[in-house]
Amino acid sequence: MTPLTLVFDLDGTLAETAPDLIGALNHVLAGDDIAPVPVEAARSLLGAGARALIERGYARAGRELTRARLDAQFDAFLEFYDAHIADHSTLFPGVLACLDRCRAEGWRLAVCTNKLEHSSHLLLGKLGVAERFTFVCGQDTFGVAKPDPKPLLETVARAGGVIARSVMVGDSVTDIRTARAAGVLVVAVDFGYTDVPVTELGPDRVISHFDALDGAVRALT
C-alpha cells in the first residue's frame, strides 16, 4: 500500500510565528506612521500571506493603500522578515517528536503554506526541521495560493504521494477549504491562527497537541 503523505501548513500549525510576522508588519506600518498592531491581533490577520497581512494591517488602521505602495511595503516586509524570521518563532510543543514518529512509520512529510517558498525554507532551517520534509510549497511555488487546491495537489505529487492516501494538517478555514477542494482528509489544530474556532469549520479531526496527531491520522486512514 502507498505510504501516507502528511502535508502541513506552517504558520500557526507547525510553528508559533506570530511575533516575528507581526514584528515585520509593524516595521512597515511605522513607515507610514501607523500605530503598531499587537501580537494578540494575529489570529484575525495571518493566514493568507504577506501581502494580505499588510493590506489587513492598513485596513485595521482605516488607511488606504495603493498598489504601488503595497508593492514597496511588501518588499520592505520581506527584507525585514527574512532577517528576523526566527527571532521569536518556535515550533509548537510536540512537533519535533511527532515528525520523527511519523517518519519512523514511513510516512512522507511535506509543507504547503501561503508563506513564500524562500522564507519557508529559511524558517524551517532555522527551526531545525528542514530535512524532515520531502517537499516544501510556498505561495509562489505554483503561482496560486491556498485555498486554491493546486498547491496541495502538486505538493502531494511532488512528495511522491497519492491523494487517496494523504492528510492535510492545518489551523484555519483556508487549510480546511484547500483540503476539501483537493479531496484530501484534514486534521485541524485548535491553537493556531483563526478567528473562528476550527471545531466550527468541519475538519475531519481536531487535535490540541501534536502528541495526538499520529493517532488521529491512523483513525482517519
Q: Which residues are catalytic?
A: 9
Alpha-helix residue ranges (DSSP H) falling in the chain: 18-30, 50-60, 67-83, 95-104, 117-126, 150-158, 173-182, 213-220
Distant-in-sequence, close-in-space partners of 33: CB < 8 Å, separation ≥ 6: none
Distant-in-sequence, close-in-space partners of 121: CB < 8 Å, separation ≥ 6: 130, 136
Q: Quick count: other Cβ atoms within 10 Å of Cβ 19?
A: 15
Contact 180, 187 (CB under 8 A): no
SS (H, E, C) 179-194: HHHHCCEEEEECCCCC
Type of residue found at 49: G
Type of residue found at 90: T
Q: Looking at the DSSP assignment, which residues form a beta bridge with residue 91?
A: 15
Residue 15, classed as helix, strand or coil, is strand
Is the Cα dihedral 171, 137, 159, 185 positive or negative? positive
